[in-house]
Amino acid sequence: MAKRIDVSGLSAYYGPFRAIEDISMTVEPRSVTAFIGPSGCGKSTFLRTLNRMHEVTPGGRVEGKVMLDAEDLYGTGVDPVTVRREVGMVFQRPNPFPTMSVYDNVAAGLRLNGSYKKSQLDDVVEKSLRGANLWNEVKDRLNKPGSGLSGGQQQRLCIARAIAVEPKVLLMDEPCSALDPISTLAIEDLIGELKQRFTIVIVTHNMQQAARVSDRTAFFNLAAVGQPGRLIEIDDTERIFSNPSVQATEDYISGRFG
Ligand SMILES: Nc1ncnc2c1ncn2[C@@H]1O[C@H](COP(=O)(O)OP(=O)(O)O)[C@@H](O)[C@H]1O
Ligand SMILES: [Mg+2]
């Protein structure tokens, strides 16, 4: 099958410090890939190289190649802003624009990228909120501030905002770690629905979550603090959690370290 993402020989630096080293992997369209591994092994850093967010950090630099379909994301002349529209991101802490209404939060990305008629915006906002399983809860308060929603609703609002611009890929960095168990389940259900339309990469510390939501799991590790993180193995999630190829993966998922 054609690959949606194809990473080869990727390293990322903060100034002189190499945070991740020589990562290669592929991701298929309409699948969920989970990134697991101990704190500091570079999961967030790697995720941010996939939409050119890493270079926003002062000293942030990338070596290697990331292909999104036929597009070389680090090729000459590629506009990082375009890349970030194609590869959306949802963060650990829900971060709706605090002064904006629910409606404007979802419409924000579209307004940045072009001019739309009110009726077109209305349609996209409704479709995106429905897509994020939030429409029924907010349809009567579209003009109220997004920051007035509960944490779980805010996170779904951020997902609605991300999908409104129809990205190819959705990156999620521990999207449930600030949420209660019910809100977490709502997001996990949503991920299962969103993968019909999007390619999803999710960082999680929760092994059950990785096992529940993902098709493929990538285990990252580092030899010691100060050493770069590496991809240890990537395989079908079922296999990673039943019979991984590498002892360190087994040790990590069974809670022996990390
Ligand atoms: N802004 C930054 N400046 C310098 N070093 C950083 C920065 N962000 C992360 N790092 C370092 O990069 C390494 C990987 O971090 P990170 O990607 O956050 O790991 P993870 O998400 O797996 O916990 C760590 O050693 C971390 O301290
Ligand atoms: Mg992280």
Ligand 1 site-directed mutation target among 45, 174, 231, most atoms within 8 Å of CB: 45
pLDDT at 63: 98
Protein residues whose CB sits closer than 6 Å to any atom of ligand 1: 14, 17, 19, 37, 39-45, 57, 229
Residue bearing the CA closest to ligand 1, atom 5: 14
Answer whether 0.85 is exceeded by the pTM: yes
pLDDT at 256: 76
DSSP-assigned letters across all residues of the chain: ---SEEEEEEEEEETTEEEEEEEEEEE-TT-EEEEE--TTSSHHHHHHHTTT-GGGSTTEEEEEEEEETTEETTSTT--HHHHHHHEEEE-SS----TTSBHHHHHHHHHHHH----HHHHHHHHHHHHHHTT-HHHHTT-TTSBGGGS-HHHHHHHHHHHHHHT--SEEEEESTTTTS-HHHHHHHHHHHHHHTTTSEEEEE-S-HHHHHHH-SEEEEEEESSTTSPEEEEEEEEHHHHHHS-SSHHHHHHHTTS--
Distance in angstroms (rounded) separating the CA atoms of residues 203 and 90: 11
Q: Which atom of ligand 1 is nearest to the CA of 229?
A: 14
Tell how far the Cα of 210 is from the centroid of ligand 1, in angstroms. Answer: 21
What burial letters (b/e) apply to 147-180, b meaning 16+ CB within 10 Å?
bebeebbbbbbbbbbbbbbbbbbbbbbbbbebbe
pLDDT at 1: 66
pLDDT at 113: 79
Ion ligand 2: residue ranges with CB closer than 5 A? 44
Residue bearing the CA closest to ligand 1, atom 11: 19
Q: Which ligand is nearest to the CA of 92?
A: 2
Tell how far the Cα of 19 is from the centroid of ligand 1, in angstroms. Answer: 7
pLDDT at 34: 98
pLDDT (tens place) for every residue of the chain, 258 residues total: 689 999 999 999 999 999 999 999 999 999 999 999 999 999 999 999 999 999 999 999 999 999 999 999 999 999 999 999 999 999 999 999 999 999 999 999 899 878 899 999 999 999 999 999 999 999 999 999 999 999 999 999 999 999 999 999 999 999 999 999 999 999 999 999 999 999 999 999 999 999 999 999 999 999 999 999 999 999 999 999 999 999 999 999 998 776
